[in-house]
Amino acid sequence: MQPVRGILFKIGSVTIFIIMSSMIKAASSEVPPGQMVFFRSFFAIPVILAWVRWQGDLRGGIRVQNPLGHFWRGLMGTSAMALGFTGLGLLPLPEVTAIGYAAPLLTVVFAAMFLGEAVRAFRLTAVALGLVGVMIVLSPRLSVLSQGGMQVLETLGAVVVLMGAVCSALAQVFLRRLVQTERTSAVVFWFSVTSSTLALFTVPFGWVWPSPQAATLLVCAGLIGGLGQILLTSSYRHADASVVAPFEYVSMIFALTIGYFIFDEIPTLAMLGGAGLIILAGVLIIWRERQLGLERTRQRKAMTP
């Protein structure tokens, strides 16, 4: 294990994903979400294939044992991506980022419901705290339903991003089952293939011929998105998940900076306060997972003759 390298890879992936989201947001006024999903997924494939080839096992690296599991994970992940991209066109970047932090909290709930994972009072309390934070972020949007115009569109954006977080959490539940039999390279590659294919079904709903600027942004988003996936995967190879996971929240710093300087977005106190609670809840869950992992390790060692 090389924890410093793992942390650096994680921060690199977080930075790339925020830049990618910024590119998607910049193109969102011109290109529909389904088409953006296609660009993001399709142009990540060559980068991922080059990485797998560089590792020296192209054929084995993308072989699958559970095709149906890949499909369901791809369906939920693609839905999360499409909803998130829709939200980027309607809401400030930091707000989309903050609401997206609900996904790990919901994963705890769904893992207990669908995978039978034991979730005790501490993690349930942390999840509840995080969901309170989500409601604080959402509250200004939910109070303007009667005003019409852009306010209603922003409310729709908040609901769409929250639905995206639900789909993302479900994708993580499918992923937890999938990684028991599948290699990481296969999971990453076939997700991009699945999401590219699913995105093509949105062609009848209004794909457009993008301007050179929008096309460049979307192609670059796909290429660096593939790189971000590689860095994310590499981060967990060099360090434990409990070590690198908290650095996901560095993305809020980048989102606030890019939102302010590029998109002239000024964060509200409700957004900052709610995001703080969500981040606190996420860190508490990660800390508890680490404690439980250490406890299980001690128990195994005690039982070893």
Rounded Cα distance, 273 and 286, in Å = 20
3-state secondary structure 57-71: CHHHHCCCCCHHHHH
Judged on CB neighbours under 10 Å (0-12, 13-18, 19+), 305 is exposed
Asked whether residue 157 carries a pLDDT value surpassing 60, the answer given is yes
* pLDDT for residue 298: 64
Rounded Cα distance, 171 and 280, in Å = 23
What are the structure tokens assigned to 208, written together? 């457009």
Q: What is the average per-residue pLDDT within 59-63?
A: 86
First CA to last CA distance, the chain: 26
* pLDDT for residue 150: 62
**pLDDT tier at 101, thresholds 50, 70, 90:** very high
Rounded to the nearest 5°, which phi and psi values hold at 202? -90, 0
CA-wise closest residue to 113 among 168, 173, 164 = 173
Q: How far is CA 275 from CA 156, 251, 255, 268, in A?
A: 19, 12, 12, 11
Enumerate residues 6+ apart whose C-beta is below 8 A from 292: none
The H-assigned helical ranges of 115-149 are: 121-142
Residue pair 94/271 in contact (Cβ under 8 Å)? The answer is yes
Please tell me the pTM assigned to this model: 0.92
Average pLDDT over all residues of the chain: 90
Residue pair 221/20 in contact (Cβ under 8 Å)? The answer is yes
**pLDDT tier at 40, thresholds 50, 70, 90:** very high
CA-wise closest residue to 15 among 251, 236, 260 = 251
The least confident of 68-77, 115-124, 205-214 is: 115-124
Residue pair 247/286 in contact (Cβ under 8 Å)? The answer is no
Asked whether residue 58 carries a pLDDT value surpassing 90, the answer given is no
Asked whether residue 104 carries a pLDDT value surpassing 60, the answer given is yes
Q: What is the average per-residue pLDDT within 262-289?
A: 92
